[in-house]
Amino acid sequence: MNHLQSTLEQSRTKAPSPTPATLSPTPNQALALAVCRLLRTSQNYELQQLKCEFRRGTLTLHGRVSSFYLKQIAQETVRDLVGVERIHNELEVNYAPITLD
């Protein structure tokens, strides 16, 4: 058996090592992905851009929105998801103040 045949034979008998693309997400990652998908279905562009992190029952929202209203909408959107026990709403509000001329 030559070297090429030997290498092919070994590759057939070894289980492929997992790669990031083939690893299943952890339950925390899966819930964070589900929250992000839910926010991305929003009709508001700002909510679609938010980032989510989930760990031990706590969902943390990251990003920027233009009003306190949108900050609250983001929180209410994810409030009733199964597995979410607490929400840390770390969204920053960057609004343009109204000036009276």
CATH of the domain at 67: 3.30.1340
Q: List C-alpha distances in Å: 36 to 11, 32, 40, 78.
A: 38, 6, 6, 9
Does residue 7 lie within any of the structural domains?
A: no
Q: Whole domain around residue 47: which residue ranges?
A: 25-101
Does residue 2 lie within any of the structural domains?
A: no
Q: Is the dihedral of CA 36, 65, 86, 55 positive or negative?
A: positive
Encode pLDDT of 29-44 as tens digits: 888 888 888 888 889 8
Does residue 16 lie within any of the structural domains?
A: no
Does residue 17 lie within any of the structural domains?
A: no
DSSP character at residue 22? T
Number of domains the chain is built from: 1
Does residue 101 lie within any of the structural domains?
A: yes
Does residue 60 lie within any of the structural domains?
A: yes
pLDDT by residue, tens only, the chain of 101 residues: 544 444 434 444 444 555 555 567 788 788 888 888 888 888 989 999 999 888 888 999 999 999 999 999 999 988 888 888 899 999 999 977 666 76
Does this model's pTM top 0.75? no
